[in-house]
């Protein structure tokens, strides 16, 4: 097990190294240099521009800049955000908990709901329930996240006014509320973005779970259980579902990049103060350092998540540890 | 180990269907199987209508998509004169959606062609050569696949600023081949071990000839499935970028940019976002169903579900 973990962790580090290298070269392939935005102003004398260039190390050879870029990332330094006038690390530290809250809730509900729905479908394959659910999940899984989120916000926030339109907390009232009411306030703001993410991701999980369960459902030991008179419910939850969960753990790791991508759109639509919205804002303000910092940090989070998925897989399936 | 292969892989693994050694496609038998598949036929019909609308847009669209009428006709709800309503500057939404199909589909097709080409070349080279080169390519692809696609595109866009439609195709295409490369690499690595490859080598065929004449034809089926899935995926990626305002430049309008234009008026004019979105969903759904059925028909182990 230790060897498996070590190998897997080394892979994650390699992934991060590749991402850091890629972002560095993207930055340097781009036309102009990072100071153009501030230094193209004619009122800034050229010696100031040169001193800025020296200060940010842009006068150094590429190899040295690259080494600094890598050591900076290792030390948690991601440069300076020109739009927020603060270090990028600080800006990201403020919003990452919000994204983790949103994603954590969405993933938990999507996987819990998707696993249950998929299992129920697989256990009653080709029943009317299964066909309706399959048609629904197939459709839901293709909905573009930004379109669904816009529609959800239109119906439930603008028209029905059940839930708030945007943000994480009520801007006027939040500080005046009691602690319990503050939590409720955040939950009310989370509801619609989480719902949008869950509808799409949950449908995808349900489709995988259904397929995985169908495979197991025809195994001999499940049929033996049927012959021995084990009731449907126990065959489903006790016999079949346990083995059908393994592929879902794999899916958990694979789904992380696209879930993070979905969060970019959902956060933008609902003005949720998270890392995806931060990236879009940074992009609009041409704040390279911020955008690249977000890419590196989210890739790190994704790498960590898929490492976790593999460890879980190793725990659940002894064959993985030795394979 | 369970074998899980729904079409929704697209939503997760950056459109990399799991590696399955499918036999080379036999167009005649394949068509025979698919012709009897009602779901496939209806999905294909839907796609036909949409592609037809895109091709014949100037004949089908009731108005010029850019035509502006007098301001009394702005933001009109769907009516007999304007089936999909009008937008804030009085343009006909139906005409915009029909012409938008051209942009959305063209970008998707070209981007898929580009990513398939790059992915096949990289994947086949790595799988065929093997050794440390293969290991390096495989690791790099895994790394690239773990970067959230949208963020990768956004970071490139942040550096290059506004892009022409042509540059957008290149950008989407060159960031979309990782899944294809992984798929092709796996297939080629498996094919390389097969007896017919050994036999052709024994008969004196050199590397390039073995690869092109004996290995590549076997890739037709998986690439066909990846291509169909990829079209749906690319349409959504482009729409997402356009929605965020970083996609197709004005005055061209894809479905994504029409949705973006309508977002501001969503509360009062739902038709501005609903119709382009429906066109998008219908297209992607049809493409995914076609891909799913194609895979089922190509894979002998998996019988098409009713």
* Mean pLDDT (10-residue bins), chain A, 323 residues: 78 81 75 61 73 73 81 80 83 89 91 91 86 89 88 84 79 76 84 92 89 84 86 85 82 82 88 88 80 85 83 77 59
Q: Which residue in A has a C-alpha nearest to residue B281's C-alpha?
A: A143
Chain A and chain B share a number of CB contacts under 8 A equal to 181
| Residue ranges in chain B assigned as alpha helix (H) | 9-12, 27-35, 38-55, 57-60, 93-129, 131-145, 149-160, 165-174, 178-192, 195-202, 207-209, 220-244, 255-263, 271-298
Cα A250–chain centre separation = 15
3-state secondary structure of A127: coil
Q: Which residue in A has a C-alpha nearest to residue B146's C-alpha?
A: A257
Are A208 and B236 in contact (CB < 8 Å)? no
* Structure ipTM over 0.90, yes or no: no
Are A144 and B11 in contact (CB < 8 Å)? no
Token pair of B228, please? 């169909």
State the best of B1, B3, B4 to mutate against chain A, taking most chain A CBs within 10 Å: B4
Q: Is A136 on the interface with B (CB under 8 A)?
A: no
- Residue B213 Cα, gap to closest chain A Cα (Å): 34
pLDDT of res. A31? 64
- Residue B210 Cα, gap to closest chain A Cα (Å): 31
Cis bond before residue B251 (omega within 30° of 0) = yes
Q: Which residue in B has a C-alpha nearest to residue A292's C-alpha?
A: B155
Q: A95 burial class (0-12, 13-18, 19+ CB within 10 angstroms)?
A: buried
Superfamily of domain B50-56+80-301: MetI-like (1.10.3720.10)
Placement of tokens 């419910």 in the chain: A233
Which of B139, B245, B306 is the closest to A14 by Cβ?
B139
CA dihedral B41, B43, B47, B50 (to 10 degrees): 120
Token pair of A143, please? 């909905």
- Residue A220 Cα, gap to closest chain B Cα (Å): 14
pLDDT of res. A105? 92
- Residue B305 Cα, gap to closest chain A Cα (Å): 9
Question: Tens place of pLDDT for every residue, chain B, 306 residues?
Answer: 333 333 333 333 443 444 444 555 567 777 887 888 888 888 899 999 999 988 988 888 787 887 777 777 777 778 877 778 787 777 888 888 888 898 899 999 999 999 999 999 999 999 888 888 888 888 888 878 878 888 888 877 767 767 788 888 988 898 888 888 988 888 888 888 888 888 888 888 888 888 888 888 888 888 888 888 889 889 998 998 888 888 888 777 888 888 888 888 877 888 888 889 899 999 999 998 888 888 877 765 444 343
Are B151 and A288 in contact (CB < 8 Å)? no
- For chain B, the domains span 50-56+80-301
Which DSSP letter does residue B213 get?
A: I
Superfamily of domain A88-322: MetI-like (1.10.3720.10)
Are B139 and A208 in contact (CB < 8 Å)? no
Q: Which residue in B has a C-alpha nearest to residue A209's C-alpha?
A: B4
CA distance A184 to A178: 10
Token pair of B139, please? 């690791």
Are A283 and B8 in contact (CB < 8 Å)? no
pLDDT of res. B15? 39
Q: Which residue in B has a C-alpha nearest to residue A307's C-alpha?
A: B146
- Residue A185 Cα, gap to closest chain B Cα (Å): 24
Angle (nearest 5°) at CA A181 between A180 and A182: 90
Are A208 and B154 in contact (CB < 8 Å)? no
Closest C-alpha to A189, from A267, A113, A263, A264: A267
Which DSSP letter does residue A229 get?
A: T
At residue A86, what are phi and psi to the nearest 5 degrees?
A: -145, 160
Cα B138–chain centre separation = 23
pLDDT of res. B295? 80
pLDDT tens-place string over residues B45-90 = 999 999 998 898 888 878 788 777 777 777 777 887 777 878 777 7
3-state secondary structure of A81: strand
Residues pairing with A86 in the sheet = A81
Query: For B139-154, b where at least 16 C-beta lie within 10 A, e where not — what string?
Result: ebbbbbbbbbbbbbbb
Q: Is A23 on the interface with B (CB under 8 A)?
A: yes
């Amino acid at each position: 097990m230790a060897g498996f973990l070590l190998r897997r962790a080394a892979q994650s580090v390699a992934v991060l190294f590749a991402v850091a290298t890629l972002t560095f070269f993207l930055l340097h392939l781009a036309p102009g240099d990072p100071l153009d935005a501030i230094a193209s102003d004619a009122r800034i004398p050229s010696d100031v521009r040169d001193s800025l260039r020296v200060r940010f190390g842009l006068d150094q050879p590429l190899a040295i800049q690259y080494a600094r870029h890598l050591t900076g990332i290792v030390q948690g330094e991601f440069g300076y955000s020109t739009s927020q006038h603060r270090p990028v690390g600080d800006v990201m530290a403020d919003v990452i908990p919000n994204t983790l809250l949103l994603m954590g809730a969405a993933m938990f509900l999507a996987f819990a709901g998707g696993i249950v729905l998929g299992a129920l479908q697989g256990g009653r394959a080709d029943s009317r329930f299964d066909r309706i659910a399959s048609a629904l999940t197939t459709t839901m899984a293709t909905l573009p996240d930004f379109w669904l989120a816009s529609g959800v916000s239109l119906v439930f926030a603008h028209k029905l006014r059940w839930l708030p339109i945007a943000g994480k907390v009520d801007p006027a009232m939040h500080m005046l509320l009691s602690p319990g009411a503050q939590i409720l306030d955040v939950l009310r703001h989370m509801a619609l973005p989480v719902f949008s993410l869950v509808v799409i991701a949950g449908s995808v999980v349900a489709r995988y779970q259904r397929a995985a369960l169908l495979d197991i459902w025809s195994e001999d030991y499940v049929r033996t259980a049927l012959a021995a008179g084990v009731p449907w419910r126990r065959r489903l939850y006790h016999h079949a579902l346990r083995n059908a969960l393994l592929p879902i753990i794999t899916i958990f790791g694979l789904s992380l990049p696209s879930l993070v991508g979905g969060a970019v759109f959902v956060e933008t639509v609902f003005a949720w103060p998270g890392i995806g919205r931060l990236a879009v804002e940074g992009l609009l303000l041409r704040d390279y350092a911020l955008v690249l910092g977000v890419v590196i940090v989210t890739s790190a989070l994704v790498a960590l998540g898929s490492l976790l998925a593999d460890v879980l897989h190793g725990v659940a399936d002894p064959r993985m540890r030795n394979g | 180990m369970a074998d899980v292969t729904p079409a929704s892989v697209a939503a997760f693994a950056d459109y990399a269907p799991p590696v399955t050694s499918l036999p080379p496609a036999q167009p005649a038998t394949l068509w025979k199987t698919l012709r009897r598949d009602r779901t496939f036929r209806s999905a294909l019909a839907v796609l036909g209508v949409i592609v037809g609308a895109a091709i014949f847009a100037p004949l089908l669209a009731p108005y010029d998509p850019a035509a502006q009428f007098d301001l009394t006709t702005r933001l009109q709800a769907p009516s007999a004169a304007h089936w999909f309503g009008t937008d804030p500057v009085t343009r006909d939404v139906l005409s915009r959606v029909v012409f938008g199909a051209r942009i959305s589909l063209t970008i998707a097709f070209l981007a898929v062609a580009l990513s398939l080409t790059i992915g096949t070349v990289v994947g086949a080279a790595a799988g065929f050569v093997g050794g440390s080169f293969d290991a390096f390519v495989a690791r790099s692809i895994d790394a690239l696949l773990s970067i959230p696609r949208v963020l990768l595109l956004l970071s490139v866009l942040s550096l290059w600023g506004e892009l022409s439609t042509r540059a957008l195709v290149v950008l989407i295409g060159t960031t979309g081949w990782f899944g294809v490369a992984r798929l092709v690499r796996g297939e080629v690595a498996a094919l390389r071990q097969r007896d017919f490859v050994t036999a052709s080598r024994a008969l004196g065929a050199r590397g390039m000839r073995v690869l092109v004449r004996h290995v590549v034809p076997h890739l037709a089926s998986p690439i066909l499935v990846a291509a169909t899935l990829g079209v749906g995926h690319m349409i959504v990626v482009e729409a997402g970028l356009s929605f965020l305002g970083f996609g197709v430049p004005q005055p061209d309008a894809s479905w994504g940019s029409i949705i973006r234009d309508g977002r501001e008026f969503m509360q009062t004019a739902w038709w501005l976002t609903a119709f382009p979105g429906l066109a998008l969903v219908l297209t992607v759904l049809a493409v995914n169903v076609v891909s799913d059925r194609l895979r089922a028909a190509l894979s002998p182990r998996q019988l098409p579900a009713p």
